[in-house]
Amino acid sequence: MLKGKSAVVTGSTSGIGLGIARALAKEGCNLMLNGFGDAAEIEKLRAGLAAEFGVKVLYDGADMSKGEAIAAFMKKAADGLGGVDILVNNAGIQFVSPVDEFPEAKWEAIQNINLSSSFHCIKAALPGMKKKGWGRVVNIASAHGLIASPFKSAYVAAKHGQVGLTKSVALEVAEAGITVNAICPGYVRTPLVENQIEDQAKVHKMSHEQVIREVILAAQPTKKFVEVDEVAALAVFLCGDAAKSITGTSIAIDGGWTAR
């Protein structure tokens, strides 16, 4: 279905981004990976994906907070892969603080990486997609793109913005064979979340299991994490022909969180 397509996945050296990259590679997509990490480990990851799935896999560590770096990154992807058919905007960071104490530098970083990077990547990808008459943009937003939580003003603002960007661009390219959708996960079991659990356990003097149920998953009615593979499967579906009439949507995959 997607064999031979070329996909760019930002923030794809771990967590949700890596899960999506693996799922797309399994479908036969060539990849451009992006993210931070140990150079040797990233090369091992890149080579491993290429060997396992028999696809071309490139990597670039472009800083997603900088527009010029993103433009160069997208050009490298298009040149190296023969165009960009699929764009998954996944790069993101988080910081928690009362708004009146929120560091301005953190606010700017979150807006740049979580929202503006999506704009810059989409802007670079659309001309090639329009020329081909086919394209898929999947923005990895969050349940916080649909609802709010206290002390996460920058993240909530950026993710709401990403959902709005999704709708607007989808309308612009509706007749061009390009779909644009957002996935809004609840808490997903990733290495970053596992670290948060340990930190919360120390702060609250609670067990690992108590933190998961009473703090991390308090808002998710299922009281279960969303798994990376579930998000990846939804992303692959949105890229396929069966989803060609799905565009401008924000799909929650959150254990019922936003149903409240």
Catalytic-labelled residue, pool 59, 107, 155, 257: 155
Does 221 lie in the same domain as 97? no
Which class for 187: exposed (0-12), middle (13-18), buried (19 or more C-beta within 10 A)? buried
Does 203 lie in the same domain as 244? no
Does 219 lie in the same domain as 105? no
pLDDT recorded at residue 83: 98
Does 104 lie in the same domain as 36? yes
pLDDT recorded at residue 190: 87
CA-CA distance, 256 to 242, in Å (whole number)?
A: 24
Does 129 lie in the same domain as 148? yes
Length of the chain: 260
At 18, the amino acid letter reads L
Q: How many domains does the chain have?
A: 2
Does 237 lie in the same domain as 206? no
- Pairing label, strands 178-185, 57-59: unpaired
Q: What is the CATH number of the domain that holds 24?
A: 3.40.50.720
Does 203 lie in the same domain as 113? no
Domain for residue 258, yes or no?
A: no
pLDDT recorded at residue 204: 78
Does 202 lie in the same domain as 94? no
Domain for residue 144, yes or no?
A: yes
pTM: 0.96
Largest distance between two CA atoms of the chain: 57
pLDDT recorded at residue 199: 76
Does 62 lie in the same domain as 31? yes
Cβ atoms of residues 122 and 89 within 8 Å: yes
pLDDT recorded at residue 136: 99
Domain for residue 260, yes or no?
A: no
CA-CA distance, 240 to 196, in Å (whole number)?
A: 34
Does 137 lie in the same domain as 112? yes
- 155 is annotated as an active-site residue: yes
Domain for residue 131, yes or no?
A: yes
Q: CB neighbours of 221 closer than 8 A, spacing ≥ 6?
A: 255, 256, 257, 259, 260
Does 40 lie in the same domain as 112? yes
Q: CB neighbours of 148 closer than 8 A, spacing ≥ 6?
A: 156
- What range does the domain containing 195 cover? 188-225
Instruction: Residue 2: name the closest of 51, 55, 50 by CA.
Output: 55
pLDDT recorded at residue 84: 98
pLDDT recorded at residue 197: 86
Q: CB neighbours of 107 closer than 8 A, spacing ≥ 6?
A: 153, 154
Cβ atoms of residues 231 and 140 within 8 Å: yes
Structure tokens at 5: 């397509």
pLDDT recorded at residue 215: 87
Does 203 lie in the same domain as 180? no
Residues of the chain with pLDDT under 50: none
pLDDT recorded at residue 196: 77
Domain for residue 141, yes or no?
A: yes
Instruction: Residue 17: name the closest of 257, 192, 169 by CA.
Output: 192
Cβ atoms of residues 251 and 184 within 8 Å: yes
Note the pLDDT tens digit of each residue in 116-169. Answer: 999 999 999 999 999 999 999 999 999 999 999 999 999 999 999 999 999 999
